A and B are shown apart, each in its own frame.
Chain A
Amino acid sequence: MTTPSQTVGPYLSIGLPWPDGVDAVPEGTPGAVWIRGRVLDGAGEPVPDALVETWQADANGRFDHPDDPRGAVAGFRAFGRCPTEPDGSYRIRTIVPGAVPGRDGREQAPHIDVSVFARGLLDRVVTRIYFPEHAEANAADEVLAAVPADRRATLIAVSAEDGYRFDVRLQGEGETVFFDV
């Protein structure tokens, strides 16, 4: 009964971006970092008509949502959205989330869920950002473990001057791992 997905088309940037969309956390938040990257197509060309959205836990691994009864720090949107520039770039201001409860009492390594929408994508693609400083937790993460070892690196952000880099390659050499949710 679900309504089918359709592409955002080439003109998404009139409808979806918000002036403060890049702020998953407010400016001035202690520990705030920028996650910057580019969305690239199968020819390695930038995708200038995409939208990147992020969703994540707070620093304690909690969500401000009724299905997380532990609650989260208020005043933290935890959601970011950024349309890509002509060079395919996007940026999100956020904090590194805490570890999130997984299944069977295990913990998941800190991660951010990502949706990418674009002209030419008839449905969003979903991926996850993990962080390079959590090597041990990443090695024990159930979701990363399900990803072929030689492709895991596509899910791990790279340290950068003011935060991290995370590029999304939709197709081809170094194709980002996408998830079926």
Chain B
Amino acid sequence: MGTPTKLHLPSYRRDPDGTHPPLDSPGYRSTALRHPKQRPVLLPQMLTEVTGPLLGPGRIGEHDNDLTRQHAGEPQGQRIIVHGRLLDGDGRPVRNSLVEIWQANAGGRYRHTGDRWPSPLDPNFDGVGRTLTDDEGRYEFTTIKPGAYPWKNHDNAWRPAHIHFSLFGTAFIQRLVTQMYFPDDPLFAQDPIFNSVPDEKARQRMISKFDLSRTVDHWALAFEFDIVLRGREASVFEDEEDE
């Protein structure tokens, strides 16, 4: 006793330039007054950053992963299954981890007081889901394909159809909020949010794949969307622990 426990901390690789959008992205007008102008200060990864909330059990209700069954009636629109794996940068599954989603309805309208575009709300669709990944990092939602919606960013601006995703991983460092897009959307070219990601290959990682194998006959189309969080450095600490 008396000597502090020696902690063997993992460290997480930094993402290559171009992976994430610059906070100052003039094409997306709302960044103008909201992006910090000072350079961020490098924070060494220490205990607070390599740990994080392990959320999930207790936060999931019965129909939270089926957005088509949260009301007495069925929502309008194209029923879809959205599934995939939550992985870290080394391909390891992130297990028992909370996945949260929110989205517009089939007409592109959110159940939010601030969304006033004249497309009707659907009384049978809230557009909010959560689930936990399984032991292989898999998650699955049943939902409705969201519609595109207009916004005021530029003349005749439309957001491509998308589902918002929130992920925790196992460390504060891995926290990620992103958007899942659908293949071959004609609206990509004019969308400054999608195009805010500088690297072309990184942008493609936000687009789900149509998955014929997971469609259900006379019931639902299916899309696959794997999400990758930051990976750990190859660890020398594991060997040291055998000393």
Contacts and interface: CB of A to CB of B under 8 A. Distances in A.
Contacts, number: 230
Task: Give the interface size class of chain A.
Answer: 35 or more
A160 B127 CA distance: 38
Interface residues of B, dominant DSSP: loop
A25 interface: no
Nearest to B30: A120
Interface in B44-60: 44-55, 59
B65 interface: no
B87 to A, nearest CB: 8
Determine chain A's interface SS by DSSP, over half rule.
Answer: loop
A24 to B, nearest CB: 10
B127 A2 contact: no
Pick from A8, A41, A56, A122 the residue with the most CB of B within 10 Å: A122
Interface in B1-28: 4-5, 7, 9-10, 15, 19-23, 25, 28
A18 B59 CA distance: 9
A14 B100 CA distance: 11
Most buried by A among B7, B9, B23: B23
A170 B36 contact: yes
A13 B196 contact: no
Contacts of A36: none
B38 A177 contact: yes
B164 A15 contact: yes
A181 B37 CA distance: 17
9 contacts: A4-B197, A4-B203, A5-B20, A10-B115, A45-B33, A77-B53, A122-B31, A177-B41, A180-B42
Given A2-B231, A42-B32, 16 more contacts: A1-B228, A2-B89, A4-B203, A5-B20, A6-B196, A14-B102, A15-B100, A69-B5, A101-B47, A102-B47, A113-B172, A120-B28, A120-B30, A121-B23, A124-B175, A181-B43
